[in-house]
Amino acid sequence: MRVAIAGGGLAGLSCAKYLADLGHTPIVLERSEVLGGLVAAWKDQDGDWIETGLHAFFGAYPNMLQLMAELGISDRLQWKQHTLIFNQPEKPGTLSRFDVPDIPAPFNVIVSILRNNDMLTWNQKIRFAIGLLPAIVRGQKYVEEMDKYTLSEWLRLQGIDEQVNTDIFIAASKALTFIDPDEVSATITLTALNKFLRERYGSKIAFLDGAPPERLCQPIADYVTARGGEIEVNAPLKQIVLNPDGTVNRLIVRGNDGSPDRDITADAYVSAMSVDALKLMLPEAWKDRAYFKKLEGLEGVPVINVQIWFDRKLTDIDQLLFSRSPLLSVYADMSNTCRAYADPDKSMLELVLAPAADWIGKSDESIVEATIEELAKLFPDQIPSPAKVLKAKVVKTPRSVYKAIPGRQQYRPDQTSPIANFFLSGSYTMQEYLGSMEGAILSGKLTAQAVHNSSALSNNNASPNPNQNLGQTTAAKALA
């Protein structure tokens, strides 16, 4: 079966990969000149990669780990020491660590909390542990029910004091969702905590050894094309054309540089675009359907990524850091964490500015200036001098992953739409992970299975156990 997929991010690419595994022919149409979507990157005039975001991989990403293992590229993940590191704004230049011992979960994370005396008093540790018990004991059903609360509201209900929220959960919320605990749904953070607490290496962090388009997306594209699929860039979707019965007749792709528009026909069609882009492209005939009207309850959150090159080393820490800054979310010195960016003499810091709603319309210069002011608090002995900024780049994403505020779970659609030959893929669709790389990969896998099952059922040739081809592994040995 020929399947046209609009969108060449991780959701669209993984959907194409698993469709190829199931014997179908995917055609991926990416509007920009590079693959990757929210993990896209490109080179500047100096040959340096400019990334859309700071992409950290977790041990609690089983579908991502499985995909990379199937592609034979697991060695491209550079696993770091199993620890979470927080800045201490009240002690400039000082870091607080939660070192996770290599013992079974959840005891490993509990021990890391008990050992940390920088950020939590013993009373706070006890209240913290007691507060998390409902999520651990009552499982994911309980976690899903907490979507009616913000994380701050849920913490107050558990008796977890404001200091713990300030010290840990503000940083965690901004890192996971790009918004503060006063806005984010409790379900999102509790889902992540559940993964970290239930899996031995769930909170272990890795960085890709180079830019995602080259080191992750291109291997998927090569895999798909080697099996008869097609991957096109500079192929922006212009229109979804319908049949009289409301099903998809064809896609119209906009021509570039004066070339004419062209038609793409297939047996099935997948939108792997962001939810905001999809809403703009929906045919009028579909907009009143309950399934598509739900999408009005979802919108992307703004995100800003900043990269700054310095003339000397600021730090030798090879890990993701939680800034605990009102402006910044997480950051890393990519000259330490990423093999392709390695430099023994100079630092390149990559930082996520969040929440970014108040900054998305401001100039790059003002964003860099504000970022440098925050970095001066983190590196007081080096910024503003003697370290000098060689260059800085700002990448704004006005609509990134869906904004995970309370009540959004009910708006997340299934991958199978009411249109017989039209399907959705993307981390905003319903799956057990939040808006993330893992959520995108899993959604692509689920969409491929949905397309396959619809084809198999209509042709009466469904495989006895279609899930056997798309199983999930944790690749735990690779993390140990």
Is residue 307 domain-shared with residue 384, that is, in the same domain? Answer: yes
Residue 304 identity (one-letter amino acid): I
Is residue 392 domain-shared with residue 410, that is, in the same domain? Answer: no
Q: What is the CATH number of the domain that holds 327?
A: 3.90.660.50
Is residue 294 domain-shared with residue 307, that is, in the same domain? Answer: no
Contact yes or no for 330/322 (Cβ under 8 A): yes
pTM to 2 decimal places: 0.93
Q: Determine the Cα–Cα distance for residues 74 and 98; give it in Å rounded to an integer.
A: 26
Contact yes or no for 220/16 (Cβ under 8 A): yes
- Least confidently predicted of 67-81, 298-312, 317-331, 359-373: 317-331
Is residue 11 domain-shared with residue 140, that is, in the same domain? Answer: no
Average pLDDT over residues 11-37: 97
Q: How far is CA 126 from CA 99, 112, 133, 196, 218, in A?
A: 18, 13, 11, 19, 47
Residue 96, domain member (yes or no): no
Of 351, 381, 397, at which residue does a domain stop? 397
Is residue 243 domain-shared with residue 373, that is, in the same domain? Answer: no
Per the structure, the count of domains in the chain is: 3
- pLDDT reported for residue 463: 43
How many CA atoms lie within 13 Å of 428's alpha carbon, on the beta-carbon side?
A: 29
Neighbours of 445 (CB within 10 A): 26
Residue 74, domain member (yes or no): no
Is residue 314 domain-shared with residue 252, that is, in the same domain? Answer: no
| pLDDT class of 479 with cuts at 50, 70, 90 | low
Of 397, 424, 452, at which residue does a domain stop? 397
Q: What is the CATH number of the domain that holds 464?
A: 3.50.50.60
Is residue 194 domain-shared with residue 110, that is, in the same domain? Answer: yes
pLDDT digits over 332-343, tens only?
999 999 999 999
Sequence-ordered list of residues with C-beta below 8 angstroms from that of 193, at least 6 positions apart, any chain:
132, 135
- pLDDT reported for residue 370: 96
pLDDT digits over 26-64, tens only?
999 999 999 999 999 999 999 999 999 999 999 999 999
Q: Determine the Cα–Cα distance for residues 24 and 11; give it in Å rounded to an integer.
A: 17
Per-residue b/e over 221-235, b at no fewer than 16 CB within 10 Å?
A: bebbeebebbbeeeb
Asked, as a colleague might, if the bond just before 355 is cis with ω within 30 of 0, I would say yes
Average pLDDT over residues 463-469: 43
Boundaries of domain holding 20: 2-39+212-298+405-479
Q: What's the chain's average pLDDT? A: 91
Residue 90, domain member (yes or no): no
Main-chain phi, psi angles of 324, to 5 degrees: 55, 35
- pLDDT reported for residue 457: 52
pLDDT digits over 375-400, tens only?
998 898 899 889 999 999 999 999 99
Contact yes or no for 324/167 (Cβ under 8 A): yes
β 348-353/205-208 pair status: unpaired
pLDDT of 361 over the 80 cut = yes
Q: Dihedral of the CA atoms 409, 412, 415, 421 (nearest 10)?
A: 150
Q: Determine the Cα–Cα distance for residues 246 and 419; give it in Å rounded to an integer.
A: 7
- Least confidently predicted of 95-104, 165-174, 395-404: 165-174
Is residue 445 domain-shared with residue 380, that is, in the same domain? Answer: no
pLDDT of 329 over the 60 cut = yes
pLDDT of 123 over the 90 cut = no
Contact yes or no for 171/85 (Cβ under 8 A): no
